[in-house]
Amino acid sequence: MNIEQLILHLDTLNIDYKFLNQPPKCNLLTISSLKKASEQDVVYVLDKKHVSDLHGRTPGLVIGNEDIFDEYSGFSLVVAKPRYVFAKLAQELYKETSSSFIHSSSVVAENAQLSSNVTCEPGVFISHHTQVGEDTFIHANASIFENVKIGKNCVIGANVVIHKNCEIGDNCHIEAGTVIGGDGFGWEMYEGQWHKVPQVGAVKIGNYVSIGNNCCIDRGALEDTMIEDYCIIDNLVHIAHNVVIGKGSAVAGQVGFAGTSKLGQYNTVAGQAGFAGHLTTADQCHFLAKSGVTHSISEAGVYAGFPAQPHKEWQKENIRIRKLNKLATDLKLIQKQIQSLQSAKDEN
Amino acid sequence: MNIEQLILHLDTLNIDYKFLNQPPKCNLLTISSLKKASEQDVVYVLDKKHVSDLHGRTPGLVIGNEDIFDEYSGFSLVVAKPRYVFAKLAQELYKETSSSFIHSSSVVAENAQLSSNVTCEPGVFISHHTQVGEDTFIHANASIFENVKIGKNCVIGANVVIHKNCEIGDNCHIEAGTVIGGDGFGWEMYEGQWHKVPQVGAVKIGNYVSIGNNCCIDRGALEDTMIEDYCIIDNLVHIAHNVVIGKGSAVAGQVGFAGTSKLGQYNTVAGQAGFAGHLTTADQCHFLAKSGVTHSISEAGVYAGFPAQPHKEWQKENIRIRKLNKLATDLKLIQKQIQSLQSAKDEN
Amino acid sequence: MNIEQLILHLDTLNIDYKFLNQPPKCNLLTISSLKKASEQDVVYVLDKKHVSDLHGRTPGLVIGNEDIFDEYSGFSLVVAKPRYVFAKLAQELYKETSSSFIHSSSVVAENAQLSSNVTCEPGVFISHHTQVGEDTFIHANASIFENVKIGKNCVIGANVVIHKNCEIGDNCHIEAGTVIGGDGFGWEMYEGQWHKVPQVGAVKIGNYVSIGNNCCIDRGALEDTMIEDYCIIDNLVHIAHNVVIGKGSAVAGQVGFAGTSKLGQYNTVAGQAGFAGHLTTADQCHFLAKSGVTHSISEAGVYAGFPAQPHKEWQKENIRIRKLNKLATDLKLIQKQIQSLQSAKDEN
């Protein structure tokens, strides 16, 4: 990416920006941390104190806020949201292109519909009536079953499994080993034996959704499990049948949702949290790590603990628990004082 | 399924039943939620208040208890256990048949023994001396190693891995990405290095067992890890070496069992619970979500918390913790009162 | 293994040892538990009380400490660390040999470099410029992407995914379904949409590292995620971007590390524990099951609870919580006593 291309790309972002100092002679090719930056690297700085990490190095481009650059004399880009602009430039630098290549060891059903420019790496299996949108890249040994719809410009990771009738929108990324549309855990006990309730809903995933590695998103029992637009989901997350993950929500690693729970829009959920079944959360809720959400949450806010409660309450509770020893000691002292008062009274 | 077939099937269930109102003209083909039911759907109702969800729709068949049907005039089936009967009818409607098809891209060792009517989708690998029972369906890219025994009428999901010498009974379902018979976590530290203790036991899985997606069931160290008949296991569950999961137990998502723990029969374990090693639980124990079971449980009952305790105790404890603030306030008030009593005494 | 081979192998371990009683006539072929031992089995005993588990059986070789053998008359090996010696003998007995076999259904890029004696089972995919060291065994349906380096004498499990540029040292074992080098969870929210920050670091894994089944080890954002020499990691573990797992550490099942956390050397982490991002732990720390580590730990020791604290503190706290009921009862009694004292004073 040379300076002209950089300017063209920045103009597409529709943001205010300005350059400081002289542009480098070589092109911008890669991104880097400050500590390892070289002259073809793009880097970003969020806080003035980190500028010293450059140790005199001059990267190809430093992105930051106005006040970062008082004492830095290299080529710089001043923007309001440096990490966002860094992300967009990096996306451009590392853009992978699909190549309309179906490896000969892939097995694609005759009536599957692959749009132009779809890539299938070795060992991919695509079953009957499945549709794949243009520019979608399917990595090695992925298994995609009957009547699945995958949109445009998606990346399907290696060993991913997508079960029948599931739908994935455009610009989605499903990482390796994730299973979409496994059977929900729906059983009925009768005479000492669990009887399976067939799970005939599907999983519907919106646009611009990203799902990490080795996750499990179960299909709905009768209706569908839904992951709405712009959601991002980390690794090893369990999403049970009929769950709805609201638009723009972010779910960190090893979180679990029991059946028919409904996460609001723009929630964030930190690692190892868990949600009981049949509850809903308001929009803009934030759940701290290891939260155990046992009931519906009707107000936006920050929640923590198990059973989950407002974060500030949880913090106070932790402090109170830490002070239990003092409480017990105080109480013993009081018991002695009362005894002494009692004795005094009795002597009277 | 027409009415004659429905009656034939109900008769196989060996239950009391009766029909109400006129049968529909078209066949029963699918199942549905009440809200989306059409004339070819079978639905079930567990509570009278949900009948209104039909909004005037008339499904092909509504299954429920006697008292559900006071004000409903469509074709109905009255039984004692509506969800059980719904499950059995749905199993019949959605029955998949194996087709004795071994895809040409599968690799099956010459001395492997596949019974009649076994299906292998693309990319399946079956190694030496492995036996697969009749009507078993093996999905794409599953890897089944040496000397494995898989029973009749099983479904082995895509990308499943079954390691050597493991045994799976009849009518089992292992969902996608699950690994059966990985090495147990058996190590010995010596001079700053972990030395692996070879794991030579196997995994033995009974009949009618269902295991979800991306689970890990480790092989035994010297003897076998066992999953007994009729167990159902959800997604992302970790079962370490030498664990025994007792008959008919149900284990929800993201639960973990450390080595040599032994779950009793007909236990239920909710999501994200964990069991320490070398403990046992009684039959008919129920563990709530996120329980941390640190010691053996010798009595049937409901348990919760970490360290796990009887559920009612745990609930009381939570209430006590929530009241800690009041306790501290009360204590401060008492301290003042005592001071005042003390002053009064001193003045005397 | 006959007696001569046994002696040769023991001599390579460079330890003190001596034999007791007469060697068996047949060779040592397998290992076993005490309860099932036969004359070709090697077994070990750590405590005298377990000798009775033999029930009169005479295994081919019993390994133990000096004092175990007072009343046992079979062939025995006396060593200081019986389980270590058992592990090393078992490793020898169950040694698998790679066979320089590349199955015809594997896809290996022309410019990939496979050293001598590499095995690729069916369905393996090895991409461009990837290097695999000698005697390494790659199991079925594993997908190894561009420019990966795998050392000598490694085992790569079935369905494992190793993403581009990652490096794995010598003598490593990556078990089935694990994903090495998935994208870290790096996102920037801007105008209601999450924008991906491309993850361009790699995963660097040292020598003698073992990683269990269905784990996720994410690649670094800008620098690398590191698993140092001699680490052992159990199943379903989540290791986020830029994490460092220090030399010789052991991590049990379902543990999670958030981004840029740094575990010290020779730490042990029990099941379902979690680590917040951007923290470090000292060397020789031990974290109990379900710990939630929210801040850096600067001293070696045993830690537990959430938020994690020294184990002894956590134990005391649990006892204090269990005594909350008594505390509340005591307080009520005190309130009555004060009331009575108050009344007495008022009457005065």
- Give the count of alpha carbons within 13 A of A223, CB side only: 11
Q: Find all residues with CB under 8 Å of B336, minimum gap 6, and list them.
A: none
Q: For the segment C121-163, what is each residue's pLDDT rounded down to a tens digit?
A: 999 999 999 999 999 999 999 999 999 999 999 999 999 999 9
With beta carbons less than 8 A apart as the criterion, state whether A151 and A207 touch.
Answer: yes
Could you give the CA distance from residue B223 to residue B241 in angstroms, rounded to a whole number?
9
Q: Are B248 and A194 in contact (CB under 8 A)?
A: yes
Q: How near does any CA of chain B get to the CA of C90, in Å?
A: 6
Structure-token pair, residue C186 = 């790096």
Check residue B16 and give its pLDDT. Answer: 96
Return the pLDDT at C122: 96
pLDDT tens across C11-70, in order? Answer: 999 999 999 999 988 899 999 999 999 999 999 999 999 998 988 899 999 999 988 888
Judge whether residue C348 has pLDDT over 80: no
C-alpha C193/C-alpha C270 separation (Å) is: 37
More confident residue, C71 or C273: C273
* Token pair listed for B99: 């087709």
Low-confidence ranges of chain B (pLDDT < 50): none
Q: What angle do CA C175, C181, C185 make, to 5 degrees?
A: 120
Find chain B residues with C-beta within 8 A of A292's C-beta.
272, 289-290
Q: pLDDT-derived band of residue C98, with 50, 70 and 90 as boundaries?
A: low
Q: How far is the CA of A274 from the CAs of A303, A314, B285, B346, in angstroms? A: 12, 16, 21, 57
pLDDT tens per residue across span B292-317: 999 999 999 999 999 999 999 999 99
Distance (Å, whole) CA A9 – CA A258: 43
Neighbours of chain C (3+ CB pairs under 8 A): A, B
3-state per-residue secondary structure call for chain A: CCHHHHHHHHHHHCCCCEEECCCCCCCCCEECCHHHCCCCEEEECCCHHHHHHHCCCCCCEEEECHHHHCCCCCCEEECCCHHHHHHHHHHHHCCCCCCCCECCCCEECCCCEECCCCEECCCCEECCCCEECCCCEECCCCEECCCCEECCCCEECCCCEECCCCEECCCCEECCCCEEEECCCCEEEECCEEEECCCCCCEEECCCCEECCCCEEECCCCCCEEECCCCEECCCCEECCCCEECCCCEECCCCEECCCCEECCCCEECCCCEECCCCEECCCEEECCCCEECCCECCCEEEECCCCEEHHHHHHHHHHHHCHHHHHHHHHHHHHHHHHHHHHHHHC
How many residues are present in chain B? Answer: 348
Lowest average pLDDT, out of A181-185, A187-191, B21-25, B78-82, goes to B21-25
Say whether pLDDT at C108 is over 80: yes
**Predicted local confidence at residue B328, as pLDDT:** 87
Half-sphere exposure in the Cβ direction for B322 (13 Å, CA): 12
Per-residue model confidence (pLDDT) at position B129: 98
Q: What's the one-letter identity of residue B64?
A: G
CA atoms within 13 A on the CB side of C136: 22
Catalytic residue among B139, B163, B241, B286: B241
Chain C CB contacts of B240 under 8 Å are 234-235, 253
User: What is the structure's pLDDT at B98?
Assistant: 67
Taken in order C91, C94, C95, C98, the sign of the CA dihedral is negative
> How far is B113 from chain A, CA to nearest CA, in Å?
24
List the 242-301 stretch of B: residues with Cβ below 8 A of C.
254, 256, 258, 272, 274, 276, 292, 294
What's the pTM? 0.95
Q: What is the dihedral of CA C217, C218, C224, C226, to 10 degrees?
A: -20
Residue of C nearest to B272 (CA): C272
Q: Percentage of chain A surpassing pLDDT 90?
A: 84
Over residues C248-262, mean pLDDT: 98
Chain A residues near residue C176 by CB distance under 8 angstroms: none
**Cβ <8 Å between A218 and B208:** no
Nearest by Cα to C56 from C38, C81, C68: C38
Measured CA to CA, the distance from residue A257 to residue B271 in angstroms comes to: 9
Question: How many whole angstroms separate alpha carbon A52 and alpha carbon A34?
Answer: 9
Q: Check: CB of residue B143 under 8 Å from CB of residue B162.
A: yes
- Partner-chain contact B159 C177, CB within 8 Å: yes
The Cα–Cα gap between A154 and B68 comes to 47
Helix, strand, coil share (%) of chain B residues, nearest 5:
20, 25, 50
A138: tokens are 């399917």
Structure letter (DSSP) for residue B255: -
Chain C hits for A153, Cβ within 8 Å: none
- What are the structure tokens assigned to A7, written together? 């300017």
Render pLDDT for A257-316 as a digit per residue (tens, 0 to 9). Answer: 999 999 999 999 999 999 999 999 999 999 999 999 999 999 999 999 999 999 999 999
> To 5 degrees, how large is the angle CA C175–CA B120–CA B236?
35
- Can A278 be counted among the known catalytic residues? no
Q: Both tokens of residue A289?
A: 């790590």
- pLDDT bucket at C338, cuts 50 / 70 / 90: confident
The C-alpha of A294 sits at a distance from chain C's nearest C-alpha, in angstroms, of 18
pLDDT interval class at A98 (50, 70, 90): low
What end-to-end distance do the CA atoms of chain A give, in Å?
95
Cβ pair A253, C258 in contact under 8 A: yes
Say whether residue C307 is in contact with chain A using an 8 A CB cutoff: yes
* CA–CA dist A250, A257 (Å, integer): 13
Q: What is the pLDDT of residues A233-251, one digit of tens each?
A: 999 999 999 999 999 999 9
d(CA B287, CA A305): 19
Find out whether A205 and A242 touch, Cβ atoms under 8 Å. Answer: no
* Nearest CB partner across the interface for C185, out of A35, A87, A212: A212
Query: What does the pLDDT average to over A327-343?
Result: 87
- Closest residue in A to C336 (Cα–Cα): A338
For residue C234, the chain B residue with the least C-alpha distance is: B185
Residue A122 reports pLDDT greater than 90:
yes
Interface touch C91/B331, C-beta < 8 Å: no
Distance from CA of B14 to the nearest CA of C (A): 43
Q: Is B93 on the interface with A (CB under 8 A)?
A: yes
pLDDT single digits (tens) A22-66: 998 889 999 999 999 999 999 999 999 899 898 889 999 999 998
Q: What is the nearest CA distance from A253 to chain B, expressed in angstroms?
A: 12
Number of Cβ within 10 Å of residue B189's Cβ equals 17
What value does the CA radius of gyration of chain B take, rounded to a whole number of Å?
28
CA angle B158, B246, B89 (to 5 degrees): 55
Q: Determine whether the interchain pair C179/A214 forms a contact, defined as Cβ–Cβ distance below 8 Å.
A: yes
Give the whole-angstrom CA distance, residue A312 versus residue B206.
Answer: 49
In this complex, is the C-beta atom of B230 within 8 Å of any C-beta atom belonging to chain A? yes
